[in-house]
Chains A and B, each alone.
Chain A
């Protein structure tokens, strides 16, 4: 309920007005003189004050001044005598909200009060709005501070070196990551140095061109580079940068540096240890093959010695055969080594892949019978004469078929009926698939992993550890590919795809 303070020295007017205003729903306080009015105002702080202008003692103008002095927001309506326009204007000058003439008419009073109330309401709303705005600004400021802090911490804790500049390249951010890479403290850099000064000429040029360029050119993608640190050390880094914009306005630049020293060191170590491991494996693989051959040579020469000493021709003959076999194995090992270590371009010649596959099967047929392994061949009759490297095909197939037979021979599950199957099949895009499958021992993951990459044998004196290395190399040189499907105890299927060329027309 709006409070109104009525001040008039005429008790009748005071009474009539008070009654009328109470009837309109106001809470009304009254005072019979200016000085009483001030006292009453101090007590009740009415929002609206209605005061007569002509009063003995303190007049209405003085009351107006005092009340406005106490509460600038109080609405003071002056009641003036008829035609007392001079006083009315003076009152407005001192901040009166309105004036009404005597005798006070209800409608004029209603309008004046209504205006006063509207002003109070507007002021209240303005105040609320202002207050609200302040709250919002405070929240936004807090959020902004939080984000700035967050970004600041993010930049500080980044392992990467982050260097940001203004649009003249003067450095404004130089995080601890950058300190570690460049060897400068941020106090030496911030607002003292320009980014291009810290970079190589070439890198500086890139950054400067990016800054000078049209705005579409704003990102410098990651690349390897090197920078010189404070101590003059060349440090390998990954570098990327970006020109910062706000709208069309260039704000500056930011550059990111990743220290590659540790990675480079690890890479060097890795290459070194891989090379050592490869050498070690090669030597171990070779040594194994050679040890078996040497044992054969020792046996052979022992028998030869015995034969000579005892004039025993049988021992002499057997010993000599042993030596010859050892020589043969040496020769195979050396040839394998050579063909593995030497680059060789495939020689595309006219040949019949099915015939070559059949030849390979013939070569091992006797061995298969001895070892109770069934040898099956299924050749695609649509494959005729094509141009491919017959040497590659022969070597690859012989290796794979021998391996398949070994897989059966070394199989410990003797309840199986072993078989090795050789298939040929015409494939799209001028390729032939050669498939050699067996139901032998299969391979575990370790063997499968090593089969094409390591000098590795599981076969004692039967293997040089080179067969599949050679096979793999020949297939690759021929532009083909090789796939292996194996299951321990179940068997292995090796498929080789070799491309061929059409027979030359007219040939």
Chain B
């Protein structure tokens, strides 16, 4: 059975891009338009991989990523961050939250800065879940 990949981004064009790449490479895409919705989908759809944007309404990718990495049942799920935000900035935000007393979380498995070519995205997905 095809592996299930959840893409979480508030920009419908980005979702369309990602889901098309997924379909073309034989994965089964599901999508969510914000962090809150994303979290529900993770629980209901149990995806193998999550492709996550950072700046989103309702719940930011920074928050959602922490949820993923501090929740034992979800800790195994692979994550690709796909964002206009630089990796450095993302890590700094995580570190700031840790300094405020929250649990430290590991760096994301993969980090892609927009803009990303379709083949790079496809390769990264393949590296993550085969």
Residues in A lying within 8 Å of B, measured CB to CB: 288, 291-292, 294-300, 302-303, 306, 315, 318, 322, 325-326, 406, 409-412, 414, 458-462
Any A CB within 8 A of the CB of B48: no
Query: Binding site of B, secondary structure by majority: helix, strand, loop or mixed?
Result: loop
Instruction: State in angstroms the CA–CA spacing of A306 and B18 once bound together.
Output: 13
Give the most central of B14, B53, B54: most A CB within 10 Å.
Answer: B14
Contact present for B118 and A295 (CB under 8 Å): no
Contact present for A409 and B16 (CB under 8 Å): no
Contact present for A296 and B14 (CB under 8 Å): yes
Would you list 18 pairs from A and B whose C-beta atoms are within 8 A, ordered by A residue? A292-B11, A294-B114, A294-B115, A298-B115, A298-B118, A299-B14, A299-B16, A299-B118, A302-B118, A315-B20, A318-B16, A322-B16, A406-B57, A409-B58, A412-B63, A460-B11, A460-B54, A460-B56
Any A CB within 8 A of the CB of B124: no
Contact present for A458 and B55 (CB under 8 Å): yes
Contact present for A303 and B20 (CB under 8 Å): yes
Residues of chain B lying within 8 A (CB to CB) of residue A302: 17, 20-21, 118
Contact present for B58 and A297 (CB under 8 Å): no
Contact present for B114 and A291 (CB under 8 Å): yes
Contact present for A291 and B113 (CB under 8 Å): yes
Contact present for B58 and A292 (CB under 8 Å): no
Residues of chain B lying within 8 A (CB to CB) of residue A411: 58
How many residues on the B side are at the interface (Cβ–Cβ under 8 A)?
29
Closest B residue to A413 by CB, please name it.
Answer: B58
Closest B residue to A299 by CB, please name it.
Answer: B17
Contact present for A298 and B117 (CB under 8 Å): yes
Residues of chain A lying within 8 A (CB to CB) of residue B115: 291, 294-295, 297-298
Contact A460 to B20, CB < 8 A, known contacts A295-B114, A414-B36: no
Residues of chain B lying within 8 A (CB to CB) of residue A303: 16-17, 20
Q: Interface 1/0s, chain B 43-56, versus A by CB < 8 A?
A: 00000000001111
Instruction: State in angstroms the CA–CA spacing of A291 and B114 once bound together.
Output: 6
Q: Interface 1/0s, chain B 79-118, versus A by CB < 8 A?
A: 0000111000000000000000000000000000111111
Instruction: State in angstroms the CA–CA spacing of A461 and B60 once bound together.
Output: 13
Residues of chain A lying within 8 A (CB to CB) of residue B60: 410, 412
Contact present for B57 and A409 (CB under 8 Å): yes
* Shortest distance between the CB of A443 and any CB in chain B (Å): 15
Contact present for B57 and A410 (CB under 8 Å): yes
Instruction: State in angstroms the CA–CA spacing of A458 and B57 once bound together.
Output: 10
Closest B residue to A318 by CB, please name it.
Answer: B16
Closest B residue to A457 by CB, please name it.
Answer: B55
Contact present for A460 and B10 (CB under 8 Å): yes
Contact present for A460 and B84 (CB under 8 Å): yes
Contact A306 to B84, CB < 8 A, known contacts A292-B114, A409-B57, A460-B54: no
Contact A414 to B58, CB < 8 A, known contacts A298-B115, A298-B117, A460-B84: yes
Closest B residue to A298 by CB, please name it.
Answer: B115
Contact A298 to B58, CB < 8 A, known contacts A303-B17, A325-B13, A460-B84: no
Residues of chain B lying within 8 A (CB to CB) of residue A292: 11, 84, 114
Residues of chain A lying within 8 A (CB to CB) of residue B114: 291-292, 294-295
Contact present for A461 and B20 (CB under 8 Å): no
Closest A residue to B118 by CB, please name it.
Answer: A302
Residues of chain A lying within 8 A (CB to CB) of residue B21: 302
* Shortest distance between the CB of B37 and any CB in chain A (Å): 11
Contact A410 to B14, CB < 8 A, known contacts A298-B117, A298-B118: no
* Shortest distance between the CB of A180 and any CB in chain B (Å): 45
7 additional contacts (CB under 8 A) given A296-B14, A298-B17: A292-B11, A299-B14, A300-B17, A302-B21, A411-B58, A459-B55, A461-B84
Instruction: State in angstroms the CA–CA spacing of A288 and B58 once bound together.
Output: 21
* Shortest distance between the CB of A218 and any CB in chain B (Å): 59
Of the candidates A299, A306, A459, the one whose C-beta lies within 8 Å of that of B13 is: A299
Closest A residue to B56 by CB, please name it.
Answer: A460
Closest A residue to B21 by CB, please name it.
Answer: A302
Contact present for A306 and B24 (CB under 8 Å): yes
Residues of chain B lying within 8 A (CB to CB) of residue A458: 55
Instruction: State in angstroms the CA–CA spacing of A298 and B117 once bound together.
Output: 6
Instruction: State in angstroms the CA–CA spacing of A315 and B21 once bound together.
Output: 12
Residues of chain B lying within 8 A (CB to CB) of residue A294: 114-115
Closest A residue to B119 by CB, please name it.
Answer: A302
Instruction: State in angstroms the CA–CA spacing of A294 and B24 once bound together.
Output: 21
Of the candidates A322, A325, A410, the one whose C-beta lies within 8 Å of that of B58 is: A410
Closest A residue to B114 by CB, please name it.
Answer: A295
* Shortest distance between the CB of A90 and any CB in chain B (Å): 111
Of the candidates A295, A325, A406, the one whose C-beta lies within 8 Å of that of B84 is: A295
* Shortest distance between the CB of B107 and any CB in chain A (Å): 21
Contact present for B53 and A460 (CB under 8 Å): yes
Instruction: State in angstroms the CA–CA spacing of A299 and B114 once bound together.
Output: 11
Contact A322 to B57, CB < 8 A, known contacts A291-B113, A292-B84: no
Residues of chain A lying within 8 A (CB to CB) of residue B118: 298-299, 302
Residues of chain A lying within 8 A (CB to CB) of residue B18: 299
Contact present for B55 and A295 (CB under 8 Å): no
Residues of chain B lying within 8 A (CB to CB) of residue A410: 56-58, 60
Give the most central of B14, B20, B57, B85: most A CB within 10 Å.
Answer: B57
Residues of chain B lying within 8 A (CB to CB) of residue A318: 16
Residues of chain B lying within 8 A (CB to CB) of residue A298: 17, 115-118
* Shortest distance between the CB of B91 and any CB in chain A (Å): 16
In residues 46-76 of chain B, which contact A (Cβ within 8 Å)? 53-60, 63
